[in-house]
Amino acid sequence: MQLSFTWQQAVVAAGIFVASTLGTTALVAGFLVWIPADYFVSEPTITRPAARRTPGQLAKLVGKNALGAVLVIIGAILSIPGVPGQGLLTILVGLVLLDIPGKRKVELRIVRRAAVRGAINRLRRRFNRAELELKAEPPPTP
């Protein structure tokens, strides 16, 4: 089986690649600049049970979680060696959007990585935002 591409197909594929890379980078950067500096220090808010939500609130919740899941998947793909993009930062933004138990631990494990925290804080400084605050890491349990 022989695959052949025309120049037009190659240009379209390259355009889609560049647009998706720039789009996810812009989305992740915008979100990381937007979150408050104390996001990882303050306690997460407790949401109301789904039974007490209006249909509009429920649709918003489903949309937010769907976007979060898509960003986690895209971040996982971007984390593969050879694929350009900010994989861990995209996963972090996806996790922030998801409403799942135990997500705060995973978020903190990602943000506590020096390279990730440094990249986020450089971006926030560029837009005149305060650096992210983190709680002191709990001592390891024996």
In a domain, 135, yes or no: no
Residues 72, 95 contacting (CB under 8 angstroms) = yes
Task: Please state the domain count of the chain.
Answer: 1
Span of 6-15, 22-31, 46-55, 77-86 with lowest mean pLDDT: 46-55
Range(s) of the domain holding residue 77: 19-44+60-126
48-54, long-range: CB within 8 Å, 24+ apart, which pairs?
none
pTM: 0.61
In a domain, 1, yes or no: no
Cα–Cα distance, 106 to 100 (Å, whole number): 11
pLDDT, tens digit (0-9, with 9 covering 90-100), for 61-120? 889 899 999 988 988 888 888 776 678 778 888 888 888 888 888 888 888 888 888 989
* pLDDT value of residue 45: 65
In a domain, 83, yes or no: yes
In a domain, 54, yes or no: no
